[in-house]
Structures are given as C-alpha cells and as structure tokens.
C-alpha cells in the first residue's frame, strides 16, 4: 500500500513541474507583451515629442514665441545682423568710391578736353606765325605742297612739345636737357622729310631767325613807302647781321649766358646789355653798305631809340644789390 502511495506521489511531481513551467512560460510571454507595448508607447511619445519640438522651433523662427528662443539662436541672429550691417556699409563705401571715381573721370575728361582746345588754338596761332616766319625759306627751296604742309606741322608739334615740357619741368637744367632731346628728335624727322640741300638751308635759316625778325620789324614798322627794303637788301642784311651777332656773342661769352636759360643775375644781364649795344653799333656800320641814305636815316633813329632804352635799363640794374638774381 505504501508503495502504491509513494508511486502516486512520484507521478504527481512531474505533472506539478510541468504546470509550473507552463505558468512560467505564460508569465514570460505576458511580460514580453507588456514590455513591447511599453516600447511602442515610448516610441510614439518620442515621435510626438520630436514633432512638437519641430513645431516649437518653427514658431520660434517666425517670432511667435520669442521666450523659447535659445541663446545660441540669439547669437546667430545677432551675427547675421552684424554681417548685414557690414555688407550695407561696404556697399555704401563702394557707392561712394564709384561716385568719386566718376567725378575724377569726368574732371579728367574736362581737363583733357580743355587741354585739347588750348592745344588746337596754339596750333592755329603757330600755323600763321610759322608760315610767315618760314615764308622765304619755303619759297626759295621749292617745297611741294605736301612737303610744305608736313614741314609746318612738324615745326608746330615741336613748339607744342617744348611748350608743354616748359610748363611741366620747373628745374631749368632739366628742362634744357629735355629741350635738347625734343629738338634732336624733330631734327631727325625734318632731315628725313627734306632733301640734303633743303635741310642745310633750313638749318641756316633757323640760325638767322633772330636777325630776320629784326630786319622784318624794321622793314614793316620803321621803314615806310619807298624806303622799304627789297628782297636782295633783306637777304644781304640778314647775312651781315648774323655774322656780326655771332662774332659779338662769341667774343663776350654771351653763348654761355644763353645756355643758362633766362638768367636773372645782375652780372649776366649787364653783360648782355653791353653786347646788344655793341651789336647795334656794328649793325649801323654794316647797313651803310646796303641801305640807301633815306633808309639809313630812319634806321639810325630806331637804333638810337633802342640804345637809349638800353642805357636806362643799364642804370637801373647798376643800382640793384650785387646778389640780386
């Protein structure tokens, strides 16, 4: 009997264990379902939180909820405003610079236009003067119409360059060097334009320019009517006066004074006056062989007036301090 009871108890234990295992399995399953549900709820909550955060951020960007703007957002907004201010200032400066540049360009155009106008007027005046000055040379050397025009244009351009150089260069020594360069350049151009004989005649004509001007003044303003000089007399007087002037300048060192430019020293000015008086005296002697008596009378009257003016200037200079320049 006891064996039967013991056997039944032994059979009951496995059944009990199976029941307990099944219960535990069911409990585990239920727990897993609960955990999964909680995880789903947490996921939904997280998504909702994210959407709500995005909504709040949008509200903050539009300025509807300024109290929720973070310090970082404030700093970002301030930085953007500062950048915009700098951009606005730069654009303003650029606009000012452009306005100034436009003003400078307009001013330069006006100055250039004015310079061109002045140069054009200078050319017009020079054309008349040079045509008159070189009239005899052009007639005597049989230049063609085209060569005459080119010749006059070159002389005008040379004078214009010298004029501009004189206005730009203050130092007299520097200007003298520039003058020599300009004249050398145009001498080459003139030698290419003219034949060898014509160029030689041009050089001689240029060297006697001062003498021809002097004779021209006498013939047009001093002598009148039948007393005016004929072409041969003019030619002979120019050649004679040129030789006299060159000899006096060489003997009295006037070439050295002239090489200094417009010297204002008392000594140089007195020496030039002395040379001019000597030149006029020798002109009178040379003219006796060429002019008629009536021409000589008017010529000497003019010479005496010139020497009287020189004497007055000499007295004025003599009273000036020795170191006056």
- The answer to whether residues 63 and 77 touch, using CB atoms and an 8 Å cutoff, is no
Q: What pTM did the predictor assign? A: 0.53
- The answer to whether residues 151 and 143 touch, using CB atoms and an 8 Å cutoff, is yes
Query: Is 64 in a helix, a strand, or coil?
Result: coil
Q: What is the pLDDT of residue 191?
A: 95
Q: What is the pLDDT of residue 268?
A: 84
CA dist 123 and 88 (Å) reads 52
Tens of pLDDT, residue by residue, the chain (325 residues): 444 444 444 454 556 555 666 566 665 555 556 556 655 555 554 444 455 555 444 544 544 444 554 555 555 555 667 777 777 777 777 777 777 777 777 676 666 655 566 677 877 888 888 888 888 888 889 889 999 999 999 999 999 999 899 888 888 888 889 999 999 999 999 999 999 999 999 998 988 988 998 998 999 889 988 899 998 999 999 999 999 999 999 998 887 877 766 667 888 888 899 999 999 999 999 999 999 999 999 999 999 999 999 999 989 988 887 654 4
Q: Over the stretch 84-124, which tens digit does the pLDDT of each residue have?
A: 777 777 777 777 777 777 777 767 666 665 556 667 787 78
CA dist 16 and 20 (Å) reads 6
Q: What is the pLDDT of residue 54?
A: 52
Q: Over the stretch 152-193, which tens digit does the pLDDT of each residue have?
A: 999 999 999 998 998 888 888 888 899 999 999 999 999 999
Average pLDDT, the chain: 78
Residue 146 is encoded by which pair of tokens? 């085209």
- Name the nearest CA neighbour of 205 among 130, 272, 101, 256: 130
Residue 42 is encoded by which pair of tokens? 């947490």
- Helix, strand, coil abundance in the chain, percent, nearest 5: 85, 0, 15
Q: What angle do CA 309, 313, 317 make, to 5 degrees?
A: 170
């Amino acid at each position: 009997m006891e064996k039967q009871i013991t056997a039944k108890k032994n059979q009951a234990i496995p059944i009990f264990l199976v029941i307990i295992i099944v219960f535990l399995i069911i409990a585990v399953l239920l727990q897993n379902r609960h955990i999964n549900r909680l995880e789903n709820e947490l996921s939904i909550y997280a998504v909702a939180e994210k959407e709500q955060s995005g909504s709040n951020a949008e509200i903050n960007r539009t300025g509807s909820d300024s109290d929720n703007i973070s310090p970082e957002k404030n700093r970002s907004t301030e930085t953007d405003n500062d950048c915009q201010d700098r951009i606005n200032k730069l654009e303003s400066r650029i606009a000012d610079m452009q306005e100034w540049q436009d003003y400078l360009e307009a001013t330069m155009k006006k100055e250039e236009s004015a310079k061109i106008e002045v140069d054009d007027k200078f050319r017009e005046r020079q054309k008349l003067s040079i045509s008159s000055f070189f009239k005899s040379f052009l007639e005597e050397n049989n230049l063609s119409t085209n060569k005459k025009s080119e010749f006059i244009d070159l002389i005008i351009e040379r004078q214009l360059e010298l004029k501009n150089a004189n206005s730009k260069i203050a130092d007299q020594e520097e200007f003298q060097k520039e003058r020599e360069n300009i004249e050398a350049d145009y001498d080459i151009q003139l030698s290419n334009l003219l034949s060898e004989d014509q160029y030689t005649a041009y050089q001689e004509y240029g060297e006697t320019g001062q003498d021809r001007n002097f004779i021209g003044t006498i013939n047009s303003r001093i002598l009148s009517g039948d007393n005016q000089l004929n072409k041969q007399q003019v030619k002979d007087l120019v050649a004679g006066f040129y030789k006299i002037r060159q000899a006096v300048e060489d003997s009295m060192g006037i070439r050295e004074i002239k090489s200094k430019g417009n010297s204002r020293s008392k000594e140089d000015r007195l020496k030039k006056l002395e040379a001019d008086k000597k030149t006029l005296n020798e002109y009178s002697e040379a003219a006796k062989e060429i002019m008629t008596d009536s021409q000589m009378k008017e010529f000497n009257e003019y010479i005496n007036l010139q020497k009287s003016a020189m004497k007055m200037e000499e007295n004025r200079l003599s009273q000036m301090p020795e170191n006056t320049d």
